[in-house]
Amino acid sequence: MAKGRRGAAPAPVAAATSAMALYEQVKDFIARKIQEGVWRAGDRLPSESELVTQFGISRMTVNRALRELSEQGRIVRVAGVGSFVAEEKPQSTLLQIANLASEIRQRGHDYRCDVLAVERVSASLEVAAALDLRTGESVFHSLCIHREDGLPVQLEDRYVNPRQVPQFAAQDFTLLQPSEYLVRNVPFDQVEHVVDAVMPTAEQAALLEMPATEPCLLLTRRTWSRGVPITVVRCLHPASRYRLGSRFRADGNPAAG
C-alpha cells in the first residue's frame, strides 16, 4: 500500500503543470492576436464562456489568463461588460531628452501644453542642493501640464538656474515648451535620469485628472554644462497612461532608430 501511495504522489504536480500550460496558451493566443493587429485597441475580446469552449478548459483557467493580461496592461476588464484590448501606452526614452510634443504628434495625436506658472522663487533646501546654489537663492520655476488628445500625460515641475539661463522667465512658453527652449538654446553635456514609482498628492492627482489612489511614474532629470547645473525637473506620469524605457547596444550607446 505504501508503495502504491508513493507512485500516485506526482499526479497533483502533473496536473498543476498542465493547468499552467493551458492558461499560458490562452495568454499567448490573445497576446499574439493583439501583436498581429487582428485585435486593436478598444476591440472586445471573446467572452470567458467562448474561450472556455474554444480551448476546452475551465473558467478558472481562462479567468487567470485574463487577470494576468489585465495586470500586465495588455487588456482592460470591465465587470459585467467584458474584456477589451488596452490602449497602448506611449513610451519615452531614458537615454536622451525626449521632445514630448514631437512624440505625440508623430503618433498622429493632438498635443497641448498648459503653462500653469512661470515665476521666480526662493530655492528650497532640496532645489538648492540639486542646482548647487544657496538655500533661499532666487531660481526660476515653471509648472506645465502636457496633454495628449486632451488627456494629461505629464505634470512637469521645473527649476532653472538663473545664472545659466537668465532669460528663461521672459520666454513665451505658449509657443515653445520649456524643455524644448532649453534644449535649443542652452548647451548641456551631462544628463541624469532617476525613475521612481510614487503616489500622487491630492493636488497632483487633480492636475493630472486621475484618482489619487493610482500610482505614477516620476522621472527626475538634471542637466549640466561644464559641471554647472542648469535645471532640475520632476516629470510625473500617470502609470496607466505612460511608460518609460530604453533600448541600447551592448556598448552602452543608444540603439539607432
Q: How confident is the model at residue 80 (pLDDT cuts 50, 70, 90)?
A: confident
Instruction: Give domain limits for the chain.
Output: 22-85, 91-245
pLDDT confidence of residue 31: 83
Percent of the chain past pLDDT 90, that is, above it, reads 47
- pLDDT, greater one: 255 or 183: 183
Q: Specify the CATH number for 22-85; select among 3.60.15.10, 3.40.30.10, 3.40.50.2300, 1.10.10.10.
A: 1.10.10.10
Cα-Cα-Cα-Cα torsion 174, 177, 178, 182, nearest 10 degrees, comes to: -120
| Low-confidence winner among 7-11, 64-68, 94-98 (lowest mean pLDDT) | 7-11
Q: How confident is the model at residue 74 (pLDDT cuts 50, 70, 90)?
A: confident
Is the pLDDT reported for residue 251 higher than 60? no
The Cα 60–Cα 44 span in angstroms is 20
Strand 216-225, strand 228-238: pairing: antiparallel
Going from the C-alpha of 68 to that of each of 27, 28, 74, the distances in angstroms are 8, 11, 9
Write out pLDDT tens, residues 25-63: 898 889 888 878 889 888 999 999 999 999 999 999 999
Phi, psi of 170 (to 5 degrees): -85, -5
Write out pLDDT tens, residues 89-141: 554 444 455 677 778 888 788 999 999 999 999 999 999 999 999 999 999 99
Average pLDDT over residues 161-170: 94
Q: Specify the CATH number for 91-245; select among 1.10.3720.10, 3.40.190.10, 3.40.1410.10, 3.30.9.90.
A: 3.40.1410.10
Cell numbers linked to 164: 545659466
The Cα 12–Cα 108 span in angstroms is 52
Closest CA to 143 of 63, 234, 69, 230: 234
The Cα 150–Cα 167 span in angstroms is 30
Closest CA to 146 of 82, 193, 103, 94: 103
pLDDT confidence of residue 102: 79
